[in-house]
Amino acid sequence: MASYDIAIAGGGPAGLSAAYAAAQAGAKVILLEKEDSIAHSIRTSGVTWIDEIEKFGIHSDHYNPIRNYSFLSKSNQALIRGVSPKACVLNVRTAFQHLAMKAAEAGSEIMVRSKVTDVIRSSSDGRIAGLKVKTPKGELEISCKVVIDATGFISYIARRLGIVSEWKSYGVGAEYECYCENLDLESWVLMVGTEYSDGGYAWVFPVSNNRARIGVGVARPYCSTTNPLQKLNYIIDKRLRPIDEMGKIQPIELHYGYVPNDGPRTSITYDGLLLVGDSAGQVNPLVLEGIRFAMEYGRLAGKIAAKCLQLNSCKDDFREYDRAWKETNHGKMLSGLKVQRRWLRMSDNEWDREIEILKGMSVEEFLDFIKAEFYRFNPDLIPFAGLWKYYRKLKNAFS
C-alpha cells in the first residue's frame, strides 16, 4: 500500500490548486485524475474574471480578455462597453495544464487515467484511511490522513461515503467550440428568453482569433424536457442573433457538462475529508461559473489540510476552511440563487423590459451583478420587472 499525507481526487482547477498548496506546505500529496490527461474533456465555458485568476498565476497567454458585454433577448439588446478588460475566456486546456505543472513543480505526484473505485476506512474507528484506485499501473490502495474531494459535479468521494446526496437542481450545458468567420474578440454575448433557452441562457464567448464557444445551458428540474444540444443546433441552424452576424461557422469540438445549482453544501468539512469546487457547491448561481472559487478555495483547502496533519485531521481542525468560505460567500450565493429562481420564471416580454433597463447600467454595475456581488440586501424584494434598476438602487444604498 502506497502511503501519502493527502490524496486528492479530481484534476480540475480545484484539485490542482489544492495539490499545489498542500505540496508547497510540505505535505506528501497524490492527485488522481480519471481522464487520460488533465483537461482532457472540457466541461466548462471557461469564463472568469481577470483580477481573480491573475492572483493564481494564470496570465494573459492562457486567456482572451473581454471588455464589452452584450445581453440580448428576442426583441431587445444592450451592449455595455468597458474601457479595459475585466472578464476573460480561458484556454481551458493550457490553463489547467499550467496548474498541473505548478502542482508537480511543488512536489505533488499526479496520476492520470486513475479512477477512484472505493474509500478505505479504518477498521478501528471507521475513519477515512485511504482510497482504492484503478490506475495504468494496476489496482492500487493508497493510505492517507486526509482526502480532498475535488471530483466536481459527481462528488464521488462524499457520495460514496453516504454523507451527501445527488444534486436536486443543476445546470446542463452543451457547447460547440467553433471556427467563426466574423468574431468580435473583445465582446461576449449572453442570450435569454425561450427562443434561446427555456430555462437558462445561451452564450457566445470568444476564445481566440476566429474561434468561439457557442453554447446553451438549461436548468434542471425546472426545465425537464429541453435538450440543450438540440436547442444549440436550432440557434445555429436558424442563425438567430448574434449568429446571423458571424459569417461561416464550423464546429471543431463539442463540450457537454453539468454544474450544481442547489447552492453551497451545508457542510464542506468532515473527519478526514474536505470538499472543494463543484463538489462543495462553490458556484456562482447566476451564471453558474466557479473557476475562481475552485482555485481560491482549492488552495485554501490544500493549505489547511497540510497544516492539520499534525492534529487529528477531524472536522473541527478544518473549521478555518469552512468558516472562510461561509463568511465570504455563503450569504451571497444563497441570495444569487433566489435571484436566479426569478430569472427562470421570466417571460420573453419581461426579459425585453429588463434589457431596456440594463442599457442604463455602468460596466461596473453589470459585472457586480453577474458576479453575484449583492448579498447585503434581501433578494426577496426584487420584482420581476425592474430587476437591474432595483439592484442598482440597493447597491448604492449600501455603498
Of the pLDDT bands very low, low, confident and very high (cuts 50, 70, 90), residue 343 is: confident
- Is the pLDDT reported for residue 342 higher than 70? yes
Residues in contact with 77: Cβ distance below 8 Å, sequence separation at least 6, in sequence order: 70, 71, 241, 355
* C-alpha cell read off for 70: 452584450
SS3 347: coil
Question: Which strand ranges, in their side-by-side order, compose the sheet holding 47-49?
Answer: 47-49, 87-90, 63-66
What pLDDT sits at residue 214?
A: 98
pLDDT at 153 over 70: yes
Predicted local distance difference test score (pLDDT) of residue 388: 52
Cα Rg of the chain, angstroms: 21
Mean pLDDT of all residues in 127-134: 97
Task: Please give the average per-residue pLDDT across 130-145, as a whole number.
Answer: 97
Phi, psi of 149 (to 5 degrees): -90, 105
Q: Concatenate the DSSP letters of all residues of 259-288 into one string.
A: EE-S-S-S--EETTEEE-GGGGT--BTTTT
Render pLDDT for 278-306 as a digit per residue (tens, 0 to 9).
999 999 988 889 999 999 999 999 999 99
Please tell me the predicted confidence (pLDDT) of residue 368. Answer: 84
Query: Does residue 32 register a pLDDT over 70?
Result: yes
What does the pLDDT read at residue 393? 52
β partners of residue 218: 172, 200
- Per-residue confidence at 112, pLDDT binned at 50, 70, 90? very high
Q: d(Cα 288, Cα 18) in Å, to the nearest integer?
A: 21
Out of 3.40.630.10, 3.40.920.10, 3.30.9.10, 3.40.640.10, select the CATH number for domain 64-86+168-260: 3.30.9.10
Residue 129 CA to residue 154 CA, distance in Å, equals 21
Confidence of residue 56 (pLDDT cuts 50, 70, 90): very high
Residue 385's pLDDT is what?
39
What number is the average pLDDT over the span 116-133? Answer: 94
* Sign, Cα dihedral of 329, 330, 336, 339: negative
The predicted structure's pLDDT at residue 398: 42
What's the average model confidence in pLDDT over 131-147? 97
Mean pLDDT of the chain: 92
- pLDDT at position 336, please? 83
- How would DSSP label each residue in 183-252? --TTEEEEE-STTT-TTEEEEEEEEETTEEEEEEEEEETTS-S--HHHHHHHHHHTT-TTGGGS--EEEE
Out of 3.90.1150.10, 3.40.50.2300, 3.50.50.60, 3.40.50.1000, which CATH number does the structure's domain 2-44+92-167+264-332 have? 3.50.50.60
pLDDT digits (tens, 9 = 90+) for 168-184: 999 999 999 999 999 99
Q: Indicate if the pLDDT at residue 215 is higher than 60.
A: yes
Cβ partners under 8 Å of residue 140, min gap 6: 1, 2, 132, 133
For residue 231, how many C-alpha atoms fall within 13 Å in the half-sphere facing its CB? 27
Q: Where are the domains of the chain?
A: 2-44+92-167+264-332, 64-86+168-260, 345-398
Of 358 and 265, which is predicted with more confidence? Answer: 265
Residue 101, pLDDT > 50, answer yes
Instruction: Name the band, by pLDDT with cuts 50, 70 and 90, for residue 198.
Output: confident
Provide mean pLDDT across the span 58-70.
Answer: 97
pLDDT digits (tens, 9 = 90+) for 347-397: 999 999 889 888 888 898 888 888 877 644 444 444 433 455 555 554 554
pLDDT score of 326: 93
Is 202's pLDDT higher than 60? yes
Residue 333's pLDDT is: 86
